[in-house]
Structure 1
Amino acid sequence: MTLYLPSLAQDDVRFPPVTEALDHPDGLLAIGGDLSPARLMSAYRNGIFPWFGEDDPLLWWSPSERAIIQPTEFHASRSLQKAARKSGMTVTLNQAFERVIAICAEIRGPEQTWITHEMQAAYCQLHHQGDAHSVEVWQGNTLVGGLYGVSVGAIFCGESMFSSTTNGSKFALWQFSQYFAHQGGQYIDCQMMTPHLASLGAQPWSRHTFIDALHAHRDRPIADGYPPQRLADWRIT
């Protein structure tokens, strides 16, 4: 079957309306363009994200359903709370962005990851300009879990996470959810719904509902001091 997609111009970072995204495959919206910081931020501000393989053209998506976590409703199971208290793990923010994104790519292997070298370089640019952030989980001096994503006002668009120890990525998302809520953050966009995300409190939202929330909060500033340098002083309750 032939797919007809809008081709993005190199000198124009605008996207087609997300209502024009395909039903099959769900959410495929456009092709081409580049991964410049301006285009990436234009995408996230409109509920769009890039997703493509190493040998694929640049593909842009806005699926009909989004997985959304409201930070105050993150579900921390009793077993997670107990394990976190005993683990001695600490959490930092923006202390090892390049390592986090590289590990997220490595653990999936070259045949499965969409986090290509081109993608890593692009998100590192976003990080250096203050729009992309990482959360790191440490066991002593060893990085054992983390996640990264893009901030759009009071919404955090999560991209990927990893864990090399039990509960490492859950701990990262839990701690970040607590802090983000305290600073006035409203929603964490996890993109695609999975049973794992559902177990952590993610809810399926329609594209329309998500876009409405995004437009309402994408220009909303959150508290001074965000992002901080460390989350380690946040006590688990």
Structure 2
Amino acid sequence: MPDLTPELLLHGYSMGIFPMAEHRDDPEIFWVDPRRRGIFPLDGFHISRSLARAMRRTRFTINIDTAFKDVVSGCADRADTWINAEIFALYAKLHAQGHAHALEVWEGDVLVGGVYGVTLGRAFFGESMFSRRDNASKIALACLVDRLNRGGFTLFDTQFLTPHLASLGAQEITRAAYHARLEMALMKNADFTAPHAATPQDVEQRMTQIS
């Protein structure tokens, strides 16, 4: 693989592929194009009664892009991670260019969860998330889906489908179906940073009214 640059990364995403390393100490990076692709239908987030109750009662606050590197570090802080030093540096550069964003979950002044990804056109490519408190990752995803909807996005790519994501409404589609959705999403632009109320309580209210 030629040396990766932010521009090459974005080109890869536009083609439906994304980079990974085997583990944090492996300098080799390879492209991935899964046969089955995980996506989050932006009108299909499943908010259970228990999650709705947790969102109404939580003291968590939500920010975006105030601690991008800390979110990536939180995602990499596990025994088995594909985020090596080069990948970390590349996504930091994409963030500086406005193509990578983080949604953060705070408990007071402590970062307790978050999710980050890449934006291109009306597609959000979710990369990784972490949680250090109960419900932090679920609330992060709910607030992320709300932000993507309100910012004009049409595709939320989760790369793979996990049981955790499936329990919240994520689905698996074929590679061909994913590429068709991606092609449509790249035709227009969306705005991840569009301002709107994003407290967990606001998001819970909007989502339960829709459902």
Q: TM-score, normalised by structure 2?
A: 0.90
Asked which structure has the greater RCO (Cα within 8 Å, sep 6+), the reply is: 2
Q: Tell me the CA shift for residue 35 of structure 1.
A: 2.5
Q: Tell me the CA shift for residue 57 of structure 1.
A: 2.2
Structure 2: gaps of 5 or more residues:
206-211
* Residue 134 of structure 1: aligned partner: 102
Residues 154-163 or 81-90, more deviating = 81-90
* Residue 178 of structure 1: aligned partner: 146
* Residue 66 of structure 2: aligned partner: 95
Flag the structure with larger Rg. Answer: 1
- What is the aligned counterpart of 2:33 among 42, 59, 62? 62
Separation in 2, partners of 1:195, 1:91? 24
Partner SS, residue 47 of structure 2: coil
Q: Tell me the CA shift for residue 232 of structure 1.
A: 3.6
Aligned residues: 201
1:49 equivalenced with 2:15 (yes/no): no
Change (3 A) 1:73 1:208: same
* Residue 171 of structure 2: aligned partner: 203
Separation in 1, partners of 2:43, 2:66? 25
Separation in 2, partners of 1:137, 1:229? 17
Separation in 2, partners of 1:210, 1:232? 28
- What is the aligned counterpart of 1:187 among 155, 158, 163? 155
User: Which residue identity lines up with residue 28 of structure 2 in the other structure?
Assistant: P
User: Which residue identity lines up with residue 193 of structure 2 in the other structure?
Assistant: P
* Residue 9 of structure 1: aligned partner: none
Contact 2:123 2:155 in 1 (8 A): yes
Instruction: Describe the superposition over 1:120-151 as per-residue Cα deviations: whole angstroms up to 9, x where unpaired.
Output: 11100000000000000011111111000001
Separation in 2, partners of 1:146, 1:156? 15
RMSD: 1.5
User: Runs (4+) of structure 1 moved beyond 2 Å?
Assistant: 53-57, 228-234
Change (3 A) 1:58 1:213: same
Contact 1:33 1:58 in 2 (8 A): no
- What is the aligned counterpart of 1:71 among 17, 26, 42? 42
Identity %: 40
Separation in 2, partners of 1:37, 1:56? 17
Instruction: Describe the superposition over 1:56-101 as per-residue Cα deviations: whole angstroms up to 9, x where unpaired.
Output: 5221110111111012211111111111211111111111100000
User: Which residue identity lines up with residue 153 of structure 1 in the other structure?
Assistant: G
Residue pairs, 1:154-169, within 5 angstroms: 154-169=122-137
Separation in 2, partners of 1:205, 1:140? 39
> Structure 1 or 2: larger helix share?
2
Structure 1: gaps of 5 or more residues:
1-31
Separation in 2, partners of 1:90, 1:228? 18
Contact 1:71 1:186 in 2 (8 A): yes
Separation in 1, partners of 2:72, 2:30? 20
